[in-house]
Amino acid sequence: MTESTKTLCPYCGVGCGLEVSPPAQHGKATNRDHEGNPIWRVRGDKTHPSSQGMVCVKGATIAESLDKNRLHFPMVRNSLNEKFRRATWEEAFDLITKRIQQVLQTQGSEAICMYGSGQFQTEDYYVAQKLMKGCIGSNNFDANSRLCMSSAVSGYIQSFGSDGPPCCYDDLELTDCAFLIGTNAAECHPIAFNRLAKYHKRNRKVKMIVVDPRRTQTAEAADLHLAIRPGTDIDLMNGMAHLLMRWGCLDTGFIDECTSNFPAFAEVIRHYSPDVVARTCGITIQDLATAARYWADSKNVLSLWSMGVNQSSEGTAKVRTIINLHLMTGQIGRPGSGPFSLTGQPNAMGGREAGGLSHLLPGYRLIKNPQHRAEVEEFWGIKPGKISPLPGLTAWDMITGLETGDVGLLWVAATNPAVSMPDIERTKAALLKSPFTIYQDAYYPTETAAYAHVLLPAAQWGEKTGVMTNSERVVTLCQSFRPAPGEAKADWEIFAEVGRRLGYVGEFAFANSAHVYNEFTQLTLGRPCDVTGISHEKLKQSPIQWPYPDNSDECKVLSAELRSNTQHSALSTRYSKRLYTDLRFATPDGRAKFGAYYSRGLAEPPDPDYPFILTTGRLYGHWHTQTRTGRIEKIRQMHPEPFIEIHPRDASSLNITENSYVEVGSRRGSARFKAKITRAIAPGTVFVPMHWGALWAENAEANAMTHPISCPDSLQPELKACAVSLALVKIN
Ligand code: SF4
């Protein structure tokens, strides 16, 4: 092959377009990794609308991970004490099917769980949840998006009546004020942030506010950095709302015509006087007022957030209090304004579209809605009532289900819960109890593979064709450019084969991934995420942003004409880059709903035994648990080891010096980190990156300390904060 192939970076939700060429091309020297494997050439796709040719270090180096430590064949063992032995696919499928049937007979469908991933392509998601929800009859299909974005999902649904970020990346270059809260976008969403940072630099009137307990690279670029105490986000938002109301900055026309529940919200924010809010948040009253003033003086405000907001026991409330600020000032539905969650995983959005969480069905449908269940059952041609009315187990519920013996079979694919779950020692103990665990991944070893009875080799990026949707709803075709190694198969192919062996032959008779995608799109007809006009064939021409109904091509021409005549025609809304441009929302009454929330603070505040707050986060080069990036030399050199950031005052009080080792302990466990003493972190708070599991460093797991207490609405755990003690490790 000599041509380049267009695809997508499979790391973060920015979703940058890539072009990949064979290792040696046009007479250039072949790049090789340190093991001598030829490396495919990767460059940014200049035609991709989201990234415009830019890539960060992760995207640029991805090809180096393709040939490292790949799992080539199915492997099986009878117990965790035994070594794995190679098996045929036939043997592995046979074993899996028999175990599923056994558990169905002895414990019922509710004892079967699958834990998937935002690394899945939409086709993988769709077939996996069809297998679980439509065939096995268990809604226990959840994905690692539960740990990442589920608070944004529930916040959008409660405020707007539907999931779906209303904004697009162009808004980064059209806003008058960017309000970034709980996101270190400079490191975690670098290309989206580049667009904002360049625009901000060029336009000095544009304001950037960053809210983060750490002085991150993102905060360095801001006009105003609010280093609030962890857990005081709602106080801050309600305090800003209080000031905006006091200053008469309400968009009363918008509030009256387009929203509901304003009186309840107004009653709550009455109690958030600025002096108390500033004290609670640990910032000055002047900084609080400046933030509110920037918001008030800006025609268009764009707020951006990610894990710092979502990974919280009050995550949904935090999301909704951000949205409240937009609703009270009418900052939505226009270029450069609106609430915009940045997704972590590359296809967390596609997962949401395809029903890839335990409370969802395809097409942004909800398990608890009888009409939604009936629509999906009819489409799949399965028995009415086959889909259980009960939302399935979430990621953490599966762990507790293993503890109690209620889970009889766990299938984990493309994710690494033995590092990424909260309270990791408890998680590992639960995984040890699992009667039967299937682990499906591209790599071996990983930390979770150690807990598996069956290993299934998965094709990964570049080895299968499918689609992913990024944070701005742009759908891109990720095209394969090389065969999968050994006997590895696409995830969706593995799920479909098990479905057929369970007797659902017609339901899983997919010829290829384009066929799977076509079936999925039909389930989005008339839904907010309507993609019935999209196909693999069409995506080969260019990425497409949804909504994109079947008749989009012909109507787009008409829409362009209408758009020149009117602002809020139904058609112009339908094909615009933003949602809710007609200011009608997906709620039953068409109004966006204010949320009225008092702050509850951290689920586990510091106390005399555990006097510090630990916050966790990500670094520029690494991706999650290092399954890929740990195998890339350049990134390993960039971030050679884990560390803990401590403020000089705290370090001095504990005799901790730069590079000395610190024992960090919580009620659940402990770990050791090298000290990095810095004023970038506030006194009383410490920071540890979450990337290191047992495979990459000894006793340096951030999640040894974290707890699983979750948001009651989104069921997303509070991975961002817990109470810890610190002690200097004395080395003799
Ligand atoms: Fe990949 Fe995200 Fe970097 Fe873009 S910003 S190249 S999607 S990791």
Q: List pLDDT tens digits, range 148-159.
A: 999 999 999 999
Which residue from 7, 8, 9, 343 has its CB within 8 A of the most atoms of ligand 1, so it is best to mutate? 9
> How many A from CA of 357 to the centre of ligand 1?
24
Q: Tokens 């809210």 — which residue?
A: 211
**What is the token pair recorded at 265?**
């919200």
CA distance 271 to 217: 34
Ligand 1 centroid vs 16 CA: distance in angstroms? 6
Q: Whose CA is nearest to atom 4 of ligand 1?
A: 16
Whether the pLDDT of residue 562 is over 60: the answer is no
Tell me how far the alpha carbon of residue 136 lies from the centroid of ligand 1, in angstroms.
36
Q: Which of 245-249, 415-419, 468-472, 549-553 has the lowest mean pLDDT?
A: 549-553
Atom number, ligand 1, closest to the C-alpha of residue 11: 8
Cβ atoms of 166 and 339 within 8 Å: the answer is yes
If you average pLDDT over residues 159-166, what whole number do you get?
95
Q: What is the pLDDT of residue 25?
A: 54
- The per-residue pLDDT for range 565-589, each reduced to its tens digit, is 433 334 334 456 899 999 999 999 9
pLDDT band at 284 (very low <50, low <70, confident <90, very high): very high
Residue 29 has pLDDT above 90, yes or no: no
Query: Does residue 467 have a pLDDT over 50?
Result: yes
pLDDT tens, 296-338? 999 999 999 999 999 999 999 999 999 999 999 999 999 999 9
Delineate the domains of the chain, giving CATH numbers in brackets.
Answer: 5-65 (2.20.25.90), 76-146+348-539 (3.40.50.740), 150-342 (3.40.228.10), 544-574 (no CATH), 612-728 (2.40.40.20)
pLDDT over threshold 50, residue 462: yes
- Least confident piece of the model among 2-6, 31-35, 592-596, 689-693: 31-35
Mean pLDDT computed over every residue of the chain: 94
| In the predicted structure, residue 226 carries a pLDDT above the cut 60 | yes
d(CA 431, CA 452) in angstroms, rounded, equals 9
pLDDT in tens, 652-682: 999 999 999 999 999 999 999 999 999 999 9
Please indicate whether residue 556 or residue 661 has the higher confidence score (pLDDT).
Answer: 661
Of ligand 1's atoms, which has the minimum distance to the CA of residue 470? 7
pLDDT for 553 equals 65
What residues contact residue 690 under an 8 Å CB cut-off, 6+ apart?
420, 616, 617, 618, 624, 625, 702, 703, 719
Question: Residue 224 carries which DSSP code?
Answer: E
pLDDT for the residue 34: 67
CA distance 240 to 249: 11
- Looking at the predicted structure, is the pLDDT value of residue 559 above 80? no
pLDDT (mean) for 260-283? 98
pLDDT in tens, 108-134: 999 999 999 999 999 999 999 999 999
Could you please report the per-residue DSSP string of 588-613? TTS-EE---------SS---SSS-EE
Around ligand 1, the residues with Cβ closer than 6 Å are: 9, 11-12, 14-16, 51, 55-56, 58-59, 189-191
Atom of ligand 1 nearest to the CA of 191: 5
CA atoms of 226 and 214, how far apart (whole Å): 9
Residue 564 confidence (pLDDT) above 60: no
In this prediction, residue 441 carries a pLDDT of 98
The tokens describing 544, both together, are 């497409």
Rounded distance from Cα 35 to ligand 1 centre (Å): 25
Distance CA 473, CA 156 (A): 14
Mean pLDDT of 435-448: 98
**Comparing 55 with 574, which gets the higher pLDDT?**
55
Instruction: Give the pLDDT confidence score for residue 36 in this predicted structure.
Output: 72
Is the per-residue pLDDT at 555 higher than 60?
no
The DSSP secondary structure of 517-579, one letter per residue, reads HHHHHHTTTTSTT--TT--HHHHTT--EESP--TTHHHHHHHHHHHHHH-SS-HHHHHTSSSS
Instruction: Tokens for 567, please give them.
Output: 């602002």
Give the CA dihedral 141, 146, 148, 153, nearest 10 degrees.
100
Sequence-ordered alpha helix ranges (H) in 203-314? 217-220, 233-246, 252-258, 262-269, 274-281, 285-297, 307-310
CB count in 10 Å sphere of residue 535: 16
Does the pLDDT at position 387 exceed 50?
yes
- Which atom of ligand 1 is nearest to 44's Cα? 6
Q: And the tokens for 170?
A: 């162009």
User: What distance separates the 2 farthest-apart alpha carbons in the chain?
Assistant: 79
Q: Residue 622 has what DSSP assignment?
A: -
Rounded percentage of the chain residues whose pLDDT exceeds 90: 92
Interatomic CA distance for residues 511 and 128, integer angstroms: 16
Report helix, strand or coil for 192. helix
What is the C-alpha separation between 654 and 648, in angstroms, rounded?
10
| Phi-psi domain of 5 (left: phi exceeds 0; alpha: psi -120 through 50; beta: other) | beta
The ipTM estimated for the assembled molecules is 1.00
Using a pLDDT cut of 70, give the percent of the chain over it. 95
- Distance from the alpha carbon of residue 426 to the mean position of ligand 1, in angstroms: 32
